[in-house]
Structure 1
Amino acid sequence: MAKLLYSATMSLDGFIAGPGGDMSWLTEHIGPNPAVDRLIGEIGAILCGKRSYGGDDPHRGDPHREGKAFGGGWEGPQFVLTHHVPETPDPAVTFVGDLDSAVTAAKAAAGGKYVNIIGADVARQCLAAGLLDEIFVSIAPVLLGDGVRLFDHPGGTNVKLERLDLAEAPRATTLRLRVG
């Protein structure tokens, strides 16, 4: 059975995107990372939110990598959770209107591999629904000071995590954690 895994690269101060969803900060921190390479091979489907799907791209300007999952390192079924399907939908993407249907469809398409969650809001929704199994986060050596947090829960919460792996790479430290 497919599991849900939230993956992101974040700044040391906890942001996965800069102000306004800016992802340009990430470009200099993308590089060889064996843990990320292994993860890519474990992904069977991607589930993201509309903001992540249509948002800024750290590979902007690179015709071979821009707009592609993991900069073109991964291909497969992609699902976008949204209440507003574009008038001209992308034929390579399935747009889904509610979390349960999106998770069900993505798990079925993943073929027993991971459903990779991209986007803080979708990950927060999956966590709140008790659906999130793991978190994979690469910590980049940079402080952004503002932007979109890896996890934001106004009023606070206490989510227990168990470390599964810790890996060092030239441009990031990667943690893999089990939820609950």
Structure 2
Amino acid sequence: MENIVEKAEKLVNEYVKSDSLKKHLKAVACSMKWYARKFGEDEDRWYACGLLHDFDYEKYPDAENHPYRGAEILEKEGFDKEFVEAVLGHASYTGVERKTLMAKTLFAVDELSGFVIAVALVRPSKLIGDVKVKSVKKKMKDKAFARQVNRDEIKQGAEELGIPLEEHIQNVITALTECAKELGFEG
């Protein structure tokens, strides 16, 4: 019987063709796994949740369908209600309340994981480990930089977790540094 990570990877491989989306899913999954370890939760389950939060996005990119179609697929695949609600809750426009720690964490790391990678890519070394909290906060003020990233949701995510923004940013930098090689960043 396949485990939850294998099941999640199978769905990602079936639905996601874009390398950039696969990297985003992996980055969010790495951040989720790091937080699961910090909170004493199931690392594989949280990793899978991060991996699957946007797996339906290529096929259903509009707000009428994403993440609703993905949630339907996850239900058919046997993922439990808490897992599916976390995926639904990562998109604030769904109105699905983030009740669990897993749901709050997914929302908190989604935008920030992508933003930290964007900051790393403009650094001379292009290494996630070289990114500093101060640099991330400075780039958050620059509305032209990674303009698709919702800064208010980054702040709201940290608030919902009850973690100061600076600490949350450092946690995500640490998480992404741990899996930098997996994400295609050497060093």
TM-score over 0.5 for the alignment? no
TM-score, structure 2 as length reference: 0.31
Higher helix residue share: 2
Higher relative contact order (CA 8 A, sep 6+): 1
TM-score, structure 1 as length reference: 0.31
Higher strand residue share: 1
